[in-house]
Amino acid sequence: MTDHNEKLTAKSIPHSVWSADWLRNAEKQAADSLGLTLYELMQRAGEAAFTLARETYPATSHWLVLCGHGNNGGDGYVVARLAKSAGVAVTLLAQESDKPLPEEAEQAREAWLNAGGVIHSPDIALPENSDLIIDGLLGTGLTTAPRENIAQLIEKANRHPAPSFALDIPSGLLAETGATPGAVIEASHTLTFIALKPGLLTGKARDVVGELNYHALGLEAWLEGQAAPISRFDREDLPRWLKPRKPTSHKGSNGRLVIIGGDHGTAGAIRMTGEAALRAGAGLVRVLTRQENIAPLITARPELMVHELTLASVEESLEWADVIVIGPGLGQQEWGKKALQKVENSRKPMLWDADALNLLAINPDKRQNRIITPHPGEAARLLNCAVSQIESDRLLAADRLVKRYGGCVVLKGAGTIVASQDRECGLIDVGNAGMGSGGMGDVLSGIIGALLAQKLNPYDAACAGCVAHGAAADELAASVGTRGMLASDLFSTLYRFVNPDLKTINHD
C-alpha cells in the first residue's frame, strides 16, 4: 500500500474548508507541485475510494458503479477496475454525451475497457443482487439540479436496497452551498478528496452525505501552504478558546451578564437563557423580565438575580453589566420595544436573538459590538427575502447579514455558520436532529453571552458557544437518542464542554 493511502478515520477530517471552484482551478497546480499528472491524481483518488469501500463493506461481492461524463466518472472507472481485479463482480453504468470526456477521465475509461470491463447503458434495470453502489455520477462542478436522465438514475439508485458510497460528493449535492435543487444520492458514506468543500457540512448535507471521510491524496503539505477561507470547528477546538481558570478567579472576574426578555407567557425562554449563562461560566447573571416571572424564576434557579424590567432597571443594569443579551421571549409590543431602544445606545458587547431580531428587521441598523443569532426564518426577515433563498446558499446569506448588520452573525441550522465583519468564517460541525425543539436557541444565547462576559471576542465566543452547545447535545443523543430531547436537558452535559480540560470530554 502506498503511503498516500493511510488508513482513513473520522479524526482525519481536516479543519480547513475550501471553495470547490478554487480547488478545481488549483488542482493542476497541486499535482504539478508533486510532479503528478491529473490522471495519476485520479488514480490515487480511485485507489483511496476502493480501499475505503472494501474496508467498510468487506462482505460485498457485486458492486454497481455509476459513472458520469466528467472527472467524477473517471474516479468511478478507476474504482471499478480495481474492484474487478480484486475479484469483485462489477456492473458499470455510464452516462454518454456528445461532448468528449476530460482527458484523464477518458484514460480511466480506456483502462477499464482494456481490463475487460463492460460499459452498460444507464437505462438498464439495476441488478438486484448488487450489494454496494459506487456513486461517480456528478462531482463538485454541479451548480443546478441534475438533468432529467441523471435524476432518474439517482432516484433508481436511492430505491435500490444496497448502500451508496459517494466519490468526492453525493451526486446532486452542490459543493459550494449544500443545497439540493433536485434529485440527490442518499449516500451511506462519502469520501471527499484533497480538501473539504463547504457543501459537505451545511445546508442539506447531513441528510445525504452519510459518514464523511477524507483523503488528501498526498497533497497535505501543499494545502498547508494555502490560507483556507473557512474553518471547520468541532469539540476538538474547544481548548483553544476555553482555558482552565486561574485558582484566584472569582465571580467578578468571570463576568457580569444582564439578560432581558420574558414577556407574558414566555418566562421559560428567559429562564433557559439565564441558566445556560450560569452553566457556561458567567460569574453573575441578572435577568430583567415581567414582575409575574420573578418568583418562578428564582424558585427554579435561585442563582439568578431576577428583577422587574422597567426603564430605571434597564438603565441601572446596562451600567452594571459587562455584556447584554436581549431577545428571548421579549415580544414585539411596546414593553419589548422600549427595552430594546435603551439597549441600542449601549457600546458594550451584546447579543440579540429572537424578538430582538424581529424588531431589528423592522428598524435595521449596523453596529460592530453585536452578535446576532438568527435561524433561517429570522434571517429571511432580516434580509427581506424568502427562507428558501437563505437555505439555497447559507454562506452567502451569512455574508449578506454581516454586511447589512455588522458585528458577528450566527446563522443557525444543520451546519451553523459563524461569520464576522473581519471576514472570518466558521462552519460548526456538531449537533444533531434532537436540537429541533423549542428553547435550543435560548440556551445558545445564554452560552454565547456567558463566553462574551468571560472576555472572549465576539467571533470566538460565537464559535465556542455553538460548538459547546452542539457537543453537549451530541453527548446527550449518544446516550438517550434524539427524539424527545429538551433544551434544558443540555444542562446535564454542557459543563463537560465548557471545561474542555476535563479528561471526560475525550472519552469514546
pTM: 0.95
Name the domain boundary from 228, 255, 290.
Answer: 228
Domain identity same for 40 and 149: yes
Domain identity same for 313 and 393: yes
Of the given ranges (20-34, 277-291, 341-355, 492-506), which has the lowest mean pLDDT?
492-506
62/24: higher pLDDT: 62
Burial class (CB in 10 A: 0-12, 13-18, 19+), 93: buried
Q: Does 156 score more than 60 pLDDT?
A: yes
Domain identity same for 328 and 472: yes
The answer to the question of residue 341 being in a domain is yes
CATH of the domain at 245: 3.40.1190.20
Predicted confidence at residue 503, as pLDDT, reads: 63
Q: Which three cell numbers stand for residue 15?
A: 479543519
**Host domain of residue 162:** 3-228
Domain identity same for 354 and 487: yes
**Residue 27: pLDDT band by 50, 70, 90 thresholds?**
confident
Name the residue with cell 450560569: 278
308-346: pLDDT as tens digits: 999 999 999 999 999 999 999 999 999 999 999 999 999
The Cα–Cα gap between 325 and 448 comes to 9
Predicted confidence at residue 338, as pLDDT, reads: 97
Predicted confidence at residue 507, as pLDDT, reads: 41
Predicted confidence at residue 225, as pLDDT, reads: 83
**Residue 505: pLDDT band by 50, 70, 90 thresholds?**
very low
The answer to the question of residue 507 being in a domain is no
The answer to the question of residue 471 being in a domain is yes
Average per-residue pLDDT in the chain?
95
CATH of the domain at 158: 3.40.50.10260
Predicted confidence at residue 490, as pLDDT, reads: 98
The answer to the question of residue 508 being in a domain is no
The Cα–Cα gap between 192 and 217 comes to 10
Task: Summarize the chain as % helix, strand, coil (round to 5).
Answer: 45, 15, 40
Name the domain boundary from 228, 258, 274.
Answer: 228
The answer to the question of residue 93 being in a domain is yes
CA 20 to chain centre: 16
Domain identity same for 144 and 240: no
41-69: pLDDT as tens digits: 999 999 999 999 999 999 999 999 999 99
**Residue 5: pLDDT band by 50, 70, 90 thresholds?**
very low
Highest-confidence range of 20-29, 212-221, 446-455, by mean pLDDT?
Answer: 446-455
Q: Helices (DSSP H) in 345-484: which residue ranges? A: 355-362, 376-383, 387-392, 394-405, 440-453, 458-480
Domain identity same for 157 and 265: no
CB 154 within 8 A of CB 185: yes
The answer to the question of residue 506 being in a domain is no
Amino acid at 293: N
Domain identity same for 140 and 214: yes
Domain identity same for 153 and 241: no
Name the domain boundary from 228, 258, 286.
Answer: 228
380-433: pLDDT as tens digits: 999 999 999 999 999 999 999 999 999 999 999 999 999 999 999 999 999 999
**Residue 442: pLDDT band by 50, 70, 90 thresholds?**
very high
Domain identity same for 313 and 390: yes
CB under 8 Å to 58, separation ≥6 — which residues?
none
Predicted confidence at residue 453, as pLDDT, reads: 98
Helix (H) or strand (E) run with residue 23 in it: helix 20-33
Domain identity same for 171 and 256: no
The Cα–Cα gap between 487 and 504 comes to 22
- Best CA proximity match to 52, nearest among 220, 206, 217: 217
Provide the domain count of the chain: 2
Name the residue with cell 430583567: 288
92-147: pLDDT as tens digits: 999 988 899 999 999 999 999 999 999 999 999 999 999 999 999 999 999 999 99
Domain identity same for 460 and 494: yes
